Amino acid sequence: MSKIILGISAYYHDSSAALIIDGEIIEAVHEERFTRIKHDHSFPKRSVGYILDKSSLKLSDIDAVVFYEKPYLKFERLLETYHEFAPKGFQSFSSAMPVWLKEKVFMTGNIKKELEGFGHSEKIRLYFSEHHLSHAASAFFPSPFDEAAILTIDGVGERATSLIGFGKGNSIEVLRELNFPHSVGLLYSAFTYFCGFKVNSGEYKLMGLAPYGDPDSERTKNYEKLIREFLVEIKEDGSILLNMDYFDYTTGLKMIHEAKWEKLFGLKIKSDKVEYSQQYMDLSLSIQRVTEEIVMNMARQAKELTGSDNLVLAGGVALNSVANGKILSSGLFKKMWIQPASGDAGGSVGAALAQYYIGFSGERKFDPSEPDSMKGAFLGPEYSDDQIILTLKRYGVKYRKYDSLEELASFTARLLNEGNIIGWFQGRMEYGPRALGNRSILGDARRADMQKRMNLKIKYREGFRPFAPSVLEEDIQDFFEIDVPSPYMLFVIPVTKKRRNSIPEGYFKRELYERLYHERSDIPAVTHIDYSARIQSVSKKTNLKYWTVINEFKKLTGYGVIVNTSFNVRGEPIVATPSDAFSCFMRTEMDYLVMGSYLLDKKDMIGLDRALFNTEFGSD
């Protein structure tokens, strides 16, 4: 029985759409990449339009449109929260209500109306998955396992904030749920907010700040003690209880009761006027440690309840690659797989897969020669050389064409070895928040100045995080303490001891950026201060072009590893089209741009009015 299913995630954060045909993931794309609005949460019109066009499908060909959560359950949760906390909650309730009434409660009608734009609507069969079931389905069904323990953790869905389940064949059994307001995701977001980052998008920055915390200081230990004593009760069974006296997200419009937090930690909430002092770094480390403990408890509980040797993860907290690395190194499970689009954007794939396997009892087939069913997360639009050349001709720029991949890759590797920063635009766009070698900016990981140059001249930020390495899958153990692939940049793992340089005395007393630029290993641009790295292993099978560049770089230098950062500047989504890529190339100090078979040298762009490509940069 053939089934064509369209999955939709929208109206909260990071909208996306996905097409699943008979269980195979054909397309998956974030709306922000088309609209150029970062974290765009509107109905994914452009994504749906792209999917239908690309697959030559009409809306009437679709057997099911599946939304990633149940709006009515979410609405009920909001109502109950209001009653529980009334009258204190009236302000947030009354502010939230008009939005809910307009967008969420009448969502069925809204979605149908949006879909009508693509054709006749009578045949639309609209289904609703549940938020955590969508996450669970996105974690289990594309994984390489026939059976696995499932753990999903995020801020909140309808009611659940995390779920433990068991996946086998085409079924998912829900074993445990933790419910709102007790949420690991919201606890972490509360610290994200207190430390001056944006909730829902700045969490990875908090994670990046944590290694600058002094692990042995009395202050760090004290912060950790205060968190456990006053904010969260951690239970052995993997559940938690938050002390709601300190949190404001149920009743107010803020995450936390700021005055109470400031008093508790003896620290002002971080604002733009305040520098990142050691206190914030120690606090980041404390909450990271607490989060790791909770996540480990949940993983242990999942192991106990399922007895499985395999674990799959999804939900926003599964993007905490440091915690993932800890579960992996604990050896609790023999194998682990994490959905690359673990945030809510992954809900479109998950909802569609849940409908196919659970709703339609689809048979689960898996090709054992493939690492998983995500196709390396290369599930978005691609542009042929013919399309790329149209863009280049439009700007009338000089370019060089390479007909053989070997030649293109070996020249690119030579340029990298010479210290150039290169935009690399190839094949299908990535699904999920990370660029994995198709919309990436590349550099030489051995160069101590690479991190600073990329931050200041490309990303226009003084980031305190080093960049991530892309390493040949075959060479992963030569550089990092890991013996399994990490294709989606979702494990933070230490650099091997033989590559490390020692930390000088009095290190934690130095300024943040002085510490950042201390050379910690022979691949300093990708080694964090605690010797860890957020690694991506590159396989010949899923990305031959990218693998060949790194391999050519290895032939030249002996290093099968390079720097990979997403192809965008701060505040912008990752580039989608050749025009986006060219424009980003022109607005930054990238030295070369490789698109398809074409290579562009910035030196040849003299005379082109760079002001044409200027836009306002965002704030994060």
Determine, following the binding rule CB under 5 A, whether residue 203 of this chain makes contact with Fe ion. Answer: no
CB of 157 to Fe ion, least distance (A): 6
CB of 176 to Fe ion, least distance (A): 17
Q: Applying CB under 5 A, what is the total number of residues that bind Fe ion?
A: 2
For every residue of 209-223, DSSP letters joined together read HGGGS-TT-HHHHHH
CB of 346 to Fe ion, least distance (A): 8
Strands (E), 412-548: 422-425, 439-443, 468-472, 491-494, 532-538
Region near Fe ion per CB under 5 A, out of 151-159, 174-182, 247-255, 475-483? 151-159
Q: Could you tell me the CA-to-CA distances from 558 to 229, 411, 436, 479, 499 in Å, in that order?
A: 51, 16, 22, 12, 14
Judged by CB under 5 A, the chain residues 468 through 497 that form the site for Fe ion are none
Region near Fe ion per CB under 5 A, out of 136-144, 344-352, 406-414, 522-530? 344-352
Judged by beta carbon, residue 344 or residue 430, the one nearer Fe ion is 344
Question: How is residue 413 annotated by DSSP?
Answer: H
Region near Fe ion per CB under 5 A, out of 139-147, 154-162, 526-534, 570-578? 154-162
Closest residue to Fe ion, Cβ-based?
154
Judged by CB under 5 A, the chain residues 350 through 379 that form the site for Fe ion are none
**What is the bridge-based pairing of β-strands 491-494 and 532-538?**
antiparallel
d(CA 135, CA 347): 6
Region near Fe ion per CB under 5 A, out of 211-219, 220-228, 342-350, 480-488? 342-350
CB of 583 to Fe ion, least distance (A): 32
Region near Fe ion per CB under 5 A, out of 83-91, 280-288, 343-351, 477-485? 343-351
d(CA 538, CA 550): 9
CB of 64 to Fe ion, least distance (A): 21
d(CA 589, CA 587): 7
d(CA 338, CA 138): 9
Judged by CB under 5 A, the chain residues 452 through 471 that form the site for Fe ion are none
Question: How is residue 421 annotated by DSSP?
Answer: -
Judged by beta carbon, residue 153 or residue 525, the one nearer Fe ion is 153
CB of 489 to Fe ion, least distance (A): 19
For every residue of 131-190, DSSP letters joined together read HHHHHHHHHHTTSS-SEEEEEEE-S-SSSEEEEEEEEETTEEEEEEEEETT--HHHHHHH
CB of 103 to Fe ion, least distance (A): 17
Determine, following the binding rule CB under 5 A, whether residue 344 of this chain makes contact with Fe ion. Answer: yes
Looking at 27, 32, 69, 154, which residue binds Fe ion (CB under 5 A)?
A: 154
- Torsion 193-198-203-205 (CA) sign: negative
- What pairs with residue 441 in β-bridges? 423, 565
Judged by beta carbon, residue 14 or residue 552, the one nearer Fe ion is 14
CB of 187 to Fe ion, least distance (A): 15
Positions in the binding site for Fe ion (CB under 5 A): 154, 344
